[in-house]
Amino acid sequence: MIGGAIMTEYEPTDEEIKQLKDLGVEIRSRMGTLTTVTMPTAKINEIADLRFVRFIDGAKPVRMHLDEAIPEMGAMESWVCGYTGDGVIIGIVDSGIDEGHGDFWFDTGKTNSKILYLWDQTDDTGPVPDGYDYGTEWNKTDIEAGICAENDTNGHGTHVAGIAASSGNETGNYTGAAPDAEIVFVKTTLEDADIIDGWYYIVERAQAEGKPCVISCSIGAYFDPHDGSDPLAQAANWCAAQGVLVICSAGNDGCWPVHATIQQPRTEIWSDDFESGFGNWVTDGADPTWHLEDSRSTSQDNSTHPGSCGEICEYVNNQTSTMTMVNSVDLSATTYPVMAFQLWSEIEYYEDYLYVDVSPDDGVTWAEGIWSYSGEDANWRGMLVDLSPFKSDQVKIRFRFESDWIYTYEGPYIDDVVIYDQVDECGGSYVYDDTYNLEVALDSYWRESEVDLYYDSDDNVSIEVRTANGYVSANEACANGSGTGWAIEVYYTEGPTYKNYFVYAYDEDPSLNEVIEIRMDAVGPGGVNRWDAWMLPVYYEGGYFRDVDDMDYFKSVGSPATAESCIAVGAYTTKTAWNSSDGDTHYYPSAMMDRLAFFSSHGPTRDCRMKPEITASGFGIMSAMSADSSPSTAYIDPDGTHRMMAGTSMSAPVVAGAAALYLDKYPDASPLWVKKFLMENASREDLFTGSPITQTQYWGSGKLRLPTQPPDWPIPELSTLLLVSAGVLLIAGYVELRRRKE
């Protein structure tokens, strides 16, 4: 039996539900056309053949997206006016919560818990929630009696809950955005079907309590259609149709070009191919330092390399060698600037690193390590570095190589550095009767790669593997498997808005250097004439796109943040340094105050809607630490009960808390109105966001700001009290809440 979700053409009848049950399907949550289930794997084809079934989605794992934040958003002014989230429920599905932490109690004596309900989906030893057949449910009375056995060994969920709703009662120093809000928490298995069940559970409990509710979601999927049509995004739309807004972290994949498509021409701003020497650069570092080399040049005579030792370099222990621009490059007229370069590397994996640093003030301060790489590819390939957080600046770029002298390696070579402005966000269009090739290489350490290709037209798609012996079709690769040193698996599916190829490849022999080549023959017309591909990032054991002309930094927001109804939240920096329990002051080397966090994922969606909708504090937030977690002492506050974390996981609960403050004043406000209020009041008067904002696919509407006078907050229009946007209703098809105990 496996978990998953079934999408149907319409809300299934009782007779159709019986047909599913007759095939061994166990019904869990029903949300109109979306039903979460547990189903026998042997019956999946029969289930798919039922006339009312649109498609089946197997349960997939999702990822967690990881002081000054609360004053920054303007929450304190609303507290003074009496709006603190009182009477509002914040629902959270995450890794767990330390229910005994003082920040989750209304009183210092711990007699009045903020947590109304806690469903632990990972523990089947206790009482099961009404309507479900798994997990253990604890209520407020259980928690106050001290009999709740749930724990949060990860610590992510505890931290997130503290940002949204901490009372501050643990030490008095860290109060959440909505300190008087109550919490309904679900500790999840991190499978999307169980997350959907968790949201359904939260909506049910909030309706039973008769209180307004907002859901904060700091987890998300990676491989999905990125257009809001998948079950997780549809579930978020269903919640909105019930009056519960889901606020989602945008994701943390903004620091790597995980997306590829047909690119429109880019505007060149600056370039250097090193054929005229080091005139544009100054080098530093004890020998070996950066030198010009001709042995690895991509085209003509010169590339640059941190060593004069040729193929074997014995790098000095803890040596740092840098190559820095002499003159700054003006990015003030750009929209989405990027730097491309060619890289050949033989770098000791996870020991030696090549970094890219950026200075916006002529080398006075540096954002260190906004891009980094370690690997032994021994092949030239394109690299792309996002410079968009510095679009208002005159910047200097610094390449920095750090070695540890455990082994001798040839090191990295760099060539053909070009800075472009890229203004197209959605990608180009097909030329019919043409062929497009997308090359994907395996990561040099993990020796595997995963590619998710989505397209909407009637194109022919062929997948081949390029080996030392020529091209091999995907079918032949699947048939031969590991007997030839590599294995490849290809899966094809069709969803409600797309056609999809998922390609997984594994190379057992690093010397083979296989490249997956996906060929697309544009034979349309039909549907939307474009394709999009996503790569699991290298830092998640993925591979890489080989050609900078294919890749970009757009469309990295994943589900459920792509749902039309939800607010997707990006992150910017409000804290760069902190004191820790080890007695030292620590800092994030890549962080710069008030700038977009380098990791914050970017829009648009695959169907070209703006995402994220808003940004909030997320790069550096101190919040509640679970007593069952074991973070490094460098990230623990001197009080021993709070910890530092960073990510859009942290920015989403900031916005959820802001929504709870608004619902405190207007408990009948619809999700659409809350979303409109937060977006329209976002700050646009900022050196980094710009005024007006041009980088809408990075900043959305701007930085979260609540109006300073809560009595003047706008009253929701009557027409929006009962309605979700027409687009949401059209996509979701959900009209009423229906739940049957099966």
Residue 76 and residue 70 in contact, taking contact as beta carbons nearer than 8 Å: yes
Is there a catalytic annotation at residue 649?
A: yes
Token pair, residue 133, equals 């057949």
Which residue do the tokens 């998953």 mark?
4
Which residue do the tokens 């907002």 mark?
214
Kind and range of the H or E run holding 394: strand 394-403
> φ, ψ for residue 462 (rounded to 5)?
-120, 145
Find all residues with CB under 8 Å of 319, minimum gap 6, and list them.
285, 286, 288, 402, 403, 405
- CA distance linking residue 74 with residue 709, whole number of Å: 10
- CA distance linking residue 711 with residue 718, whole number of Å: 19
Question: What is the β-pairing status of strands 291-293 and 259-260?
Answer: unpaired
Q: List the alpha helices (DSSP H) in 210-269.
A: 231-241
- CA distance linking residue 488 with residue 319, whole number of Å: 40
For residue 577, count CB atoms less than 10 angstroms from its CB and return exposed for 0-12, middle for 13-18, buried for 19 or more.
exposed
Q: Which one of 29, 65, 67, 94 is the catalytic residue?
A: 94
Token pair, residue 345, equals 């590397």
> φ, ψ for residue 108 (rounded to 5)?
-70, -20
Residue 184 and residue 120 in contact, taking contact as beta carbons nearer than 8 Å: no
Find all residues with CB under 8 Å of 677, minimum gap 6, and list them.
662, 669, 713, 714
What is the three-class DSSP state of 675?
Answer: helix
Token pair, residue 162, equals 């503290």
- CA distance linking residue 306 with residue 321, whole number of Å: 7
Is there a catalytic annotation at residue 156?
A: yes
Q: For Cα atoms 381, 386, 389, give the angle at the middle one, nearest 5 degrees.
A: 170
Q: Which one of 101, 156, 159, 305 is the catalytic residue?
A: 156
The four Cα atoms 45, 51, 52, 58 give a dihedral, to 10 degrees, of 10
Question: What is the β-pairing status of strands 259-260 and 219-220?
Answer: unpaired
Q: Which one of 29, 78, 444, 649 is the catalytic residue?
A: 649
Sequential DSSP letters for 82-103: T-S-TT-EEEEEES---TTSGG
For the CA atoms of the chain, what is the radius of gyration?
Answer: 26
- CA distance linking residue 223 with residue 495, whole number of Å: 13
> Which residues form the catalytic set?
94, 156, 649
